[in-house]
Structure 1
Amino acid sequence: MRNIAEIDRNFQTASVDGMKLEFHNALAAPFAVEGFAWRSPGGPLYRLPEHFTTAEINKDALLLAHHTAGGAVRFRTDSAAIVLRARLAASFDMNHMPRTGSAGFDLYRREHGRLVFTAAAQPNRDQKLLEIPLVREAEGGETEYLLNLPLYGGVEAIDIGLAPGSSVSAPPPHRIAHPVLFYGSSITQGGCASRPGNCYTSLLCRALDAEQLNLGFSGSGKGEIALAEAIGRLSLSCAVLDYDYNAPDAAHLEATHGPFFQAIRRRRPDLPILLVSKCDFRGTESDARRREIIRRTYDRALGAGDRFVWFLDGETLFGAEERDACTVDGCHPNDLGFYRIYRAMLPVLRQLIHLKSSR
C-alpha cells in the first residue's frame, strides 16, 4: 500500500472560486485523523491491521478495509473560508445509494455545543480529484470542525484550504476518551445513508462525543476470531457487534457469534459490549432462529456473571410506525432508518458507557 506521505503536493497557495487560500495537509498534525485504529502516522487510510492475510480474514473484508467508513478529520480554525481538495482512490458508485454518501464528504461545525451539518462535497461519477468550497463566510472566531470521509471507496490525499493567515490547531479532546467500535455488515458500513454523517454509527458518535471505529464490511462481516482478538487489544469505550446479516446461514452464526464475543471478552473483561440482531426482522423462522442465537450469547454471558453486556433486539430498531419507509430495498436503511436505529441505540450505549465509568 502506498504511503500517503509520499504523495506529491503542488500549488499549496491557490485561488478557488475567487478565494485566495493556503492549503494544508489534513492527514498530518495539527489535524486529527480518526477512525483508523491500526494506522501509523503517514500511513494509508486502512481500517484493519495491515498484517492480516486471507488465512485470517476473508479477502473481501481485506479489500473493503480500504474504504474509509467512519474515518474523519477534526480541527479548529478561524478561517472564514474552507475548501476541500481530495484525491479519491475510487469514486464508488452504486445504484441504490447516493454518491454523496458512498464517495462524498460532509462537514460539521461546532455551534452552541453541538456539531451541526454545514456542507457536503458531492463528487461526480468516476471523479477522483475534488476541489470543493465547503464554507465561504464563516463567523465567530476559532471553531471546531469535523470532516467525515466517504463510506465506500478509499481516499489517498486530503488537503484543507483556509484563508491566508488563518489559525489552524488541534481539536479539543472528545468527551469520551476512548473510541466506540462497531463491527458488522454493509448496514454498519453505512449503506445506504445519503451522507457519511447520517450513518447510525456517525449519529451515535456525534451525540456521545466519541471517536468512531467503523468495522462494517459489506457482505463480509464473517466473525473471524483473528479480528476479535485484534479488537480485544484496543482501548475502547464500548463495542457494538452487529454482523448478523453477513453470517451465510444460522449455522455459521451459531458457530462464530459466541466465540467472537468471548475472544474479545477474554482480553477485555470490563468492556461494555452491545449485541444486536438484524434490523430488517420479518418474523420468518430463519430470522427468529438467528435472533435467538445472538440472545443466547447474551444469556450465557449474563449467567457467567458478565455485567458489561447488553442485547438489543433488531426488530425494535425501526420502531412500530411506517417501518416500510426505513429502507431503500427492504434491507439497507435510508436516512430515516438510520435515524431510528440511532434513537433506539443511543440510550443503551449511554447506559453501558456510564456503567463502566462509574465502577
Structure 2
Amino acid sequence: MKKLICLLFCCLLFFPATAQWKWYDPMEAGFPVIQNQGFTQEIGNSYTRLPERAKGMVSEPVWNLSQHSAGLAIHFYSNAPRIKVRYTVTGSLNMPHMPSTGVSGVDLYSINSDGEWHFCFGNYSFKDTITYTYNNIDKDHYHRQGFEYRLYLPLYNGVKWLEIGTPEDAKLEFIPVSPERPIVLYGTSIAQGACASRPAMAWGTILQRSLDYPLINLGFSGNGKLAKEVLQFISETDARLYILDCMPNLSNQKEEEVAALAIAAVKQLREKHSAPILLIEHDGYSNMYTDTIQNKEIEQVNRASRKAYEQVQSEGIKDVYYLTREELDMPADGWVDHVHPSDFGMKQQAAAVERKVREILHIPLGSTPTTIPATQRREPHMYEWRARHRAILKQVCNHPPKAVILGNSITHYWGGEPEHRNKNGRETWEKIMRPAGFQNLGCGWDRIENVLWRVYHGELDGYKAGKVVLMIGTNNCGLNNDKEIVEGLRFLLSAIRQRQPEASVKVIGILPRRNQEQWVKSINFDIKEMVETEGYEFANPGIALLQQDGKIDESLFVGDGLHPNEEGYKRIGGEISN
C-alpha cells in the first residue's frame, strides 16, 4: 500500500512537469514549412529531398541518400525562454569519421531584430528519441515577442518525426516556405556535409546563411556523378543559380568521359533555364602532395573540368562560371581524412564559393554596416517584416508597377498596397501617388542596409519600372556617422541601377525631424553632392515641413515629430511623385 501511495505521489509530481510544455509538429502547421527542400507540393509534408516518383528513375544509392534531410531547415518565431527539440531518425547515429552531432544532430540559430545571427547551444541526448534543450534564452531589446529561429536538420540521417516544444505560456509560429528562387547545389559527400561537426557547418549551409537565399542541397555521398536522371529533377527547379560540384566523385573516370559529362550537364540545364551555372573543380586531397597517385587523379579530373568549361564557352553558352582548386585554396589542416573537409575546411570552401556567387549574382558586400544587407524585425506588434517582403514580391509579380518608392515607415504608412492599418496619408497617396503608378515598397523602421537586403532579394526584379524613388536613411541617424550613411546610399543606388537600368532614379533627402533639423540639413547637403555626382536626381521636399526658424512645423506631423500627417504628405507628395 505504501508503494502504491508513493507511486501515485510521484505521478502527481511528474504530471505538472510534463504538462507545462506545448509541442508543435511542423507537419501539422497547415502550410509547408520545410525550407530549402524543393518539390514542396509533392514532399513538403516530409523531411526528404526528392519526390517519390524519383524512385526507380535515379540510382538506388541516390534515392536512399535523398531520404536524408541534409540542408533542410525549419524557420519559426518564438518568445519562449526555453525550447526543446525531439525527434527520431532512420539510421545509425554516427560514423567513424563523423560525430553524432553531424550525422544525426540539429542546429538552432536565433536572429534578433537587427538581423544579427547567433548560434544556440543546446544540451543534447542521443537515444532512441534524440533531444536538444535550449535554456535561459534572453529577450530581444526592441520588444518581448522573441526571435526568429532557424533549425537545421541532420546531414546524414532521415527524420521520422520531429516536434518543437515551448513552455505552455510561450508562443511559437512557423514561417512558411520562402517564395524566393533558390540556389541548387548538386554534389558529392562533401556537399551533403561530410564531415561537418554539426549540420550548420556544411559548406552549403554556411553559404545559405551568408546569402540568406534558399539553397537546395542535392549532395549525395559517393554519388554526385552528373547523372542525367538527377539533372532532370534539378532542371524542374527554377533556380537563381545552379552549382555543380561533382568532380570528387569522378576522379576514377577517364578524362574525356569526365569532360563529356560536364558538358552534357551544362547543356541539359541550359535546355530549360538561362540562370547562371557554376562549375567547381575538385578541391584536392589532404595527401595529394605526398601521394603521387592521388595527385595525378586531381590533375586529371580538373583538367577534364577545365576542358569542359572551355568547350561550353567556345560554343557560346552564356552565364557559365568556373571556380578553380586554387581559388578554393583548401588549407593543409582543412580535412578530417584524405578528402572530407573539417569545419575549418567547410568554412574555407563556403567563403571561396560565396565570393564567386556574389560576383555572379551582383550582390556585393561593402565594408561599412550600411553596405552589408540585413533583415530586421523591430516592430512585430505592427507587422511582420518578412511577411511584408513576401507580400511585396507577390504584388510586383502580379501587378508589375510603373513606379516604385523604397523607404521606411514614412513610406510604409503613407498608403497603397500591401495595405497596413496605419494610413497617415491615404488621401494624398490616392490623389498623387496611385495615379502616378507608384507601388509602395516601404517597411517600417527600415534602415539603409535593410532596403539593400530587400533589393538583393527580388523586390526590383522581374519588371521594368519607369521611375524608382528612394527615401531612406532617417533610421540610421544616431547609429551611423554621416560618411557611413552617404556611402550606404551610394552602395544601395548601385544595386538599384543594376536591377532597374532603364528607370529614372530619384533620391529624396532625409525629411526633417524634431530636434534633428540641423543635422538633417547638413547631411542632405552631403547626400545631394553624392547623388548628383553619381548621376541620379535629388529632391529635398522636406523643406516644406519647416517653419521660418528652421524647426519642424508640428502641425504637419502625427505627433512624434518624424512621421508626416495627411497635410504633411500633401506638402511633399508632388515633388516626390514628379
Report the TM-score when normalising by structure 2.
0.55
1:49-91 deviations in Å (ceiling 9; x for gaps):
321244x322111111111110111111112221101121224
Query: Which of 213, 219, 224 is the aligned partner of 1:221?
Result: 224
Partner of 1:51: 53
The reply on whether 1:209 has 2:220 as its aligned counterpart is no
Q: State yes or no: 1:305 paired with 2:316.
A: yes
Deviations 1:122-144 (A, max 9, x none): 443xx331233124433123311
Pair 1:285–1:81, CA change in 2 (3 A): same
Shift of 1:16: 10
Q: Could you say what secondary structure the match of 1:329 adopts? A: coil
Alignment of 1:311-330 (within 5 A): 311-319=322-330, 323-330=331-338
Q: Which SS does the other structure have where 1:108 is aligned? A: strand
Q: Are the counterparts in 1 of residues 122 and 132 from structure 2 also a CA contact under 8 Å?
A: no
% identical equivalent positions: 27
Q: 2:201 aligns with which of 198, 202, 212?
A: 198
Cα 1:19–1:307 shift into 2, 3 Å: farther
Contact residue 32 and residue 45 of structure 2 kept, 8 A: no
Distance in 2 between the 1:290 and 1:104 partners?
33
Q: Which amino acid aligns with 2:342?
A: N
Shift of the 28–250 alpha-carbon distance from structure 1 to 2, 3 Å rule, reads: farther
1:182 alignment partner in structure 2: 185
Q: By percentage of residues, which structure has more helix? A: 2
Contact 1:104-1:120 within 8 A present in 2 as well: no
Q: Residues of 2 paired with 1:121 and 1:27: CA distance?
A: 24
Give the SS at the match of 1:202: helix
In structure 2, the CA distance between the partners of 1:354 and 1:118, relative to structure 1 (3 Å rule), is same
In structure 1, the partner of 2:299 is 288
What is the CA-CA distance between 1:21 and the residue it aligns to? 1.4
- The equivalent residue for 1:35 is 36
Question: Matches of 1:315 and 1:228 in 2, distance apart?
Answer: 27
Q: Equivalences for 1:1-359 in 2 at 5 Å?
A: 20-29=20-29, 32-39=33-40, 40=42, 43-54=45-56, 56-111=57-112, 112-120=114-122, 122-124=124-126, 127-140=127-140, 141-171=145-175, 177-247=180-250, 248-251=252-255, 252-269=257-274, 271-280=275-284, 282=288, 284-319=295-330, 323-354=331-362, 358=498
In structure 1, what residue type is equivalent to 2:162? I
TM-superposed deviation, 1:32: 2.1
Gaps of 5+ in 1: 1-13
The change in CA–CA distance for 1:71 and 1:42 in structure 2 (over 3 A counts) is: closer
What is the aligned residue count? 338
Give unmatched runs, 5+ long, in structure 2.
Answer: 1-13, 290-294, 364-457, 462-497, 500-578
The one-letter code of the counterpart of 1:148 is Y
Q: Pick closer, same or farther for the CA change 1:117–1:167 going to 2, 3 Å.
A: same
2: distance between equivalents of 1:121 and 1:150?
Answer: 16
Structure 1 Cα separation of the partners of residues 104 and 266 of structure 2: 32
Amino acid at match of 2:329: F
Residues 51 and 79 of structure 1: is their aligned pair in 2 closer, same or farther, counting only changes over 3 Å?
same
Kept in 1: contact 2:35–2:214 (CA 8 A)? yes
Take 1:81 and 1:123, find their aligned partners in 2: how far apart are those partners?
16
Native 8 Å contact 2:43 2:51 kept in 1: no
Residue 6 of structure 1 corresponds to none
Of structures 1 and 2, the one scoring higher in RCO (CA 8 A, sep 6+) is 1
Tell me which residue corresponds to 1:3. none
Contact 1:90 1:153 in 2 (8 A): yes
Alignment RMSD (CA, Å): 2.6
Distance 1:143 1:318 in 2: 36
Task: Give, as a single letter, the amino acid of the residue that structure 2 aligns with 1:253.
Answer: V
Contact kept in structure 2, 1:276 and 1:311, CA below 8 Å: yes
Distance 1:16 1:292, change over 3 A: farther
Conserved 8 A contact 1:241-1:273: yes
Structure with bigger gyration radius: 2
- Alpha-carbon spacing, 1:205–1:17, altered in 2? closer, same or farther (3 Å): farther
Q: SS at 2:221's partner residue?
A: coil
Q: Secondary structure at the match of 2:237?
A: coil
Q: CA deviation at 1:115?
A: 2.3
Do 2:191 and 2:217's aligned partners in 1 also have CA atoms closer than 8 Å? yes
TM-score with structure 1 setting the length = 0.86
Structure 1: how far apart are the matches of 2:138 and 2:224?
Answer: 41
Q: Is the 8 A contact 2:284 2:298 kept in 1?
A: no
Residues 308-349 of structure 1 deviation map (CA, whole Å, 9 limit, x = unaligned):
211001243135xxx221001121000100011111111111
SS in 1 for 2:163: strand
- In structure 2, how many angstroms separate the alpha carbons of the residues matched to 1:232 and 1:291? 24
Find the residue that maps to 2:271 and give its secondary structure.
helix
1:122–1:299 Cα change, 3 Å = farther
